[in-house]
Structure 1
Amino acid sequence: MVTTIQVDGMNCGHCERSVVDALEDLSGVSTASADHEVGTATVEGDADTDALVTVVEDAGYDASA
């Protein structure tokens, strides 16, 4: 399953890496990518959408499904 969430506050490649690292640490995530220019993160796997939003917020960014 592929899930895309909105992420606000990413301004650079370092921000993208922080979001991807947080998502990939979550159980059920196979791969993750982020794009600061578009403001999204895309995740492959079976992790719960609410959990995805929570880990991104815990990493310091605003997120929504």
Structure 2
Amino acid sequence: MKFTIKTEGLHCGHCDAAVESALLNVEHVTDADADHETNVVVAECDEVVAPEDLIAAVEGAGEGFKVVDIQVA
């Protein structure tokens, strides 16, 4: 299962790395790719993961990070 997460607040590579690391700490997330230039994060999961868990990880990764939209890709 793959999620596309539109965000606000990612400004640099360090932001990307923080979000990717936070998502990889969510159980069943197998890959995460954040792009601060487009403010889009793609998370891949090997089992069903609640979108709320992904939102919490992104928003908890740094002050000012916000999820605008999350969709199953």
Compute the TM-score of the two structures, normalised by the length of structure 1. 0.92
Larger Rg: 2
Provide TM-score, normalisation by structure 2: 0.82
Unpaired stretches in structure 1, ≥5 consecutive residues: none
Structure 2 match to 1:63: 67
Task: Give how far 1:33 is off.
Answer: 0.5
SS in 1 for 2:5: strand
- How many percent of aligned residue pairs carry the same amino acid? 35
- CA RMSD in angstroms comes to 1.0
Structure 1 outlier segments of 4+, above 3 Å: none
Deviations 1:17-54 (A, max 9, x none): 00000000110101110000110110110322111011
Aligned length: 65
Matched, 1:2 2:2: yes
